[in-house]
Structure 1
Amino acid sequence: MFIFSSRSTLRSILVLFAVLAPFMSYAQNYLPILQYHHVSQATPFSTSLTPEQFTEHMNYLKEENFNVIDLKSALDKIKAGTALPEKSVAITFDDAYRNIYENGFPILKSHQFPFTVFINTLQIEQKNRHFLTWTQMKEMSEFGGVFANHTFSHPYMLRKIENETDEEWLVRMKREVSSVEEALVMHLGSSPKMIAYPYGESNDVIQQWLTSEGIVGFGQQSGVVNADSNFANLPRFPAAGHYAKLGPLKTKLASQPMPLVSYDNGGIYADNEPVSISLTFKEGNYRLKDLTCYVSGQGKAKLSWIDAHHVVASAPKAFTAGRGRINCTMPDKSAKHYHWFSNVWIRPSADENYIQN
């Protein structure tokens, strides 16, 4: 307890606080994570942004005083209930493309931004000239680069091969993961125990096994990580292709977690019926009347309120084969930020032999 000897002392302290306030870093308990693949003009549009666009993104983070932090350390703090610096964000890449080293790494190094690359090691072992080498990864490790698991061969993790039993499928998936863990330790000295699922595919069986191994998993649904998140299937924001423009990126960087108690998506697979998702919100002063949900390729979802804190968002029609999602956003009380939640479903084709459990 502070005891002030005079009003002048109190006044001096208040003046000092006013001077220092703009420079103080207020804590946050959530983390937006950016997902990149290629940094190149000569690669597929959907997973690429140009070196100029990537430079624009990184310069924006620097100029706007974002705290670009190490992903693994940030997740450990969130799980432990330890606050992150204000405006914290993490940067990730998938697939270990060499253009990350050639075009992305120089700007990351110049800004001293840490980053994580999820690597699939088959192409590295085959010395594919389009993929990173272990020597390049060691160099990047000296300047904030962390390398994590993206499986050995980048499979669709929920598809069985012909005549494969469920037990054989799980053994194969475990080997896809464990072989990369072994390679990371062998070539780089350690593993951060994180995996990005190829194509965002995982199920309860895979997630439970990874959790038992102490490995954190990432899907391809968008959203913000906080202590309530499923650490076996965390969201990230794609920042390439159609999402490479700076305007949408600013919105994502200012996003916060959706204040959910729970959700029910009816399972990971879609069929010939429209999907729906049930959302139950926490008690609090939220702008629930301004909640909006969009269905990929279909426009707005229908919202059916069960009660004041429980809504069902339904797609207008069934998804075609592949992946479909519902993205839900809601402005916060200030209208300067959005709460964000997303769910992805898989609509298998008849010949794709997806695991059913």
Structure 2
Amino acid sequence: MLHKTFFYTMAALFFLIPAAAGFTGAPAADRSSAPGPKQEQIRAFIYHHFGMEDQYPSTSVSVDQFKDHLDYLDTHDYTVLTLGQALDRLFSEKGVSEKTAVISIDDGYRSVWDNALPLLEKYGYPATIFIATAYVGGDNYLSWDQIQQLRKKGFEIGNHSHGHAYFLNKPKEEIADAFEADLKKSHAQFRRHLGHVPELYAYPAGEYSPEMADVLKKYDYRAGAAQKSGVIHRGGDRFALPRFPMNVNYAEMESFEEKIGMNALEVTKADPESPLVTPKNNPPALELHIRKNKINPDGLQCFVSGEKDCKMEISEKNKELVVEVRADDALTSRRTLYTLTAPSKDGSEWFWYSHSWVIPEKKPPQQ
């Protein structure tokens, strides 16, 4: 128990184009047809830099760490899919296999080509790469030619905005218009260089709001990916998909194994939907409706940025738990996570949910 609690405390500190056929690496076995009940969750991971940990310790993993992750997925019989493929199966009658993982990569740095691609091809694993179009071809970034080649190899290309702006810094009434204007710029670049527009979106810096999600829906996006720890499940919000962030300090195998084995704490409703924190609602209160069929409610815990500085009020409605969570003290960082964990009824498994808060007036952390 001590080991598990330590992991929760430390990890909580963090906050498309259909893939072309013919992945050219040695193809990994598709284990999605393995026998067993239909599964309704996906473990997704988010990477940025590879082998750049000296320059970017908060967003890079070492090449050896990444190799160890892929080797674990291989030796433990995981099916690795693009995010689009995994969502297709998750929301179909087929479902996904119990061991399904997604490798997603944000920003489109050159180290994807130099350091990640050789390993992904060796294991035959695809990935979903989210591109910020204004930076393509710039120093330390992929070129359009490399992105086209990645797509031909079977990688999925998603949208990560044009200018990677902090949209939540705008007044609330201006967020949707600013986001839509940026989206149109990215669409023009994708059409020019790839011939079509992605169907999946990853929010810049993981910051999102209902207004931004509504714009994505207007343009027929299938889903939006955030940057908060957790497991994707069928009943969750498609436009706030959780992914486990990876960096050199939280990518050692002990931590990776804990995350790949985590389950979704099945939140069916979160109120408020907006992540914005104002002086009038700080510390903010969060009300969650949680399916309780698999968890032991007596073991439910809450954390604020990895510390147990929070209070919970738990009730029951329509056979679901209704949990109100509030931090003990006012939030002070730009981004803060409320994280809830619970053991299974028999204590053999763990379940996880994170909700992100943003104080726009605060300076963004160094990326």
Question: Do these two structures clear the TM 0.5 threshold for a shared fold by scoring above it?
Answer: yes
Q: Secondary structure at the match of 1:45?
A: coil
1:136 Cα deviation (Å)?
Answer: 1.3
Per the alignment, residue 67 of structure 1 pairs with 79
CA distance in 2, matches of 1:159, 1:349: 7
Alignment of 1:191-202 (within 5 A): 191-202=197-208
Q: 1:179 to 1:348 in 2, by over 3 A?
A: closer
Determine the structure 1 residue equivalent to 2:39: 28
Which aligned pairs between 1:1-357 and structure 2 lie closer than 5 A?
24-26=34-36, 27-41=38-52, 42-124=54-136, 127-160=137-170, 166=173, 170-215=176-221, 216-265=223-272, 267-272=274-279, 273-284=282-293, 286-296=295-305, 298-307=307-316, 309-349=321-361
More displaced stretch, 188-197 vs 143-152: 188-197
Asked which structure has the greater CA Rg, the reply is 1
Q: For 1:312 and 1:170, locate their aligned partners in 2 and report how far apart those are by CA, in whole Å.
A: 29
How much does 1:32 deviate? 1.2
Q: Give the stretch that moved more between structures: 93-102 or 279-288.
A: 279-288
Aligned-pair distance for 1:307?
Answer: 4.3
3-state SS of 1:158 partner: helix
Larger RCO (CA within 8 A; separation ≥ 6) = 2
CA distance in 2, matches of 1:350, 1:140: 37
CA contact (8 A) 1:226 1:257 kept: yes
Mapped to 1, the partners of 2:294 and 2:143 lie a distance apart of 51
Where does residue 15 of structure 1 map in the other structure?
A: none
Contact 2:268 2:291 in 1 (8 A): yes
Q: Kindly provide the amino acid, as one letter, of the partner of residue 256 in structure 1.
A: N
Give, in whole Å, the separation in 2 of the partners of 1:85 and 1:94. 25
**1:45 Cα deviation from its structure 2 partner:** 0.7
Q: For residues 179 and 28 of structure 1, what CA distance do their matches in structure 2 show? A: 38
2:112 maps to amino acid: I
C-alpha distance 290-38 of structure 1, shift in aligned 2 (>3 A): same
Amino acid at match of 2:149: E
C-alpha change, 1:297 and 1:286, in structure 2 (3 Å) is: closer
Shift of 1:100: 0.9
Work out the CA distance in 1 between the residues paired with 2:72 and 2:208.
Answer: 33
Question: Equivalent residue of 2:325, what SS?
Answer: strand
Contact 2:333-2:362 within 8 A present in 1 as well: no
CA offsets, 1:67-103, max 9 Å, x none? 1012112112223343112300110011100001100
Does the Cα contact within 8 Å between 2:311 and 2:327 map onto a contact in 1? Answer: yes
Structure 1 stretch displaced more, 280-289 or 28-37: 280-289
The offset of 1:183, in angstroms, is 2.3
* Cα pair 2:236 2:267 within 8 Å, conserved: no
Percent identity over the alignment? 27
Q: Which aligned segments of 4 or more residues in structure 1 are displaced greater than 6 angstroms? A: none
Q: Do the aligned residues in 2 keep the contact of 1:68 with 1:114 (CA within 8 Å)? A: yes
Q: Residues of 1 paired with 2:206 and 2:93: CA distance?
A: 27
Equivalent pairs, count: 324
Deviation at 1:276, TM superposition (A): 2.8
CA contact (8 A) 1:30 1:84 kept: yes
In 2 relative to 1, CA 226–165 (structure 1 residues): closer, same or farther, beyond 3 Å? closer
Equivalent AA in structure 2 for residue 231 of structure 1 = R
CA distance in 1, matches of 2:100, 2:172: 44
**Structure-2 change in CA distance of 1:55 and 1:302 (3 Å):** same
Structure 1 residue 165, shift from structure 2 partner: 9.7
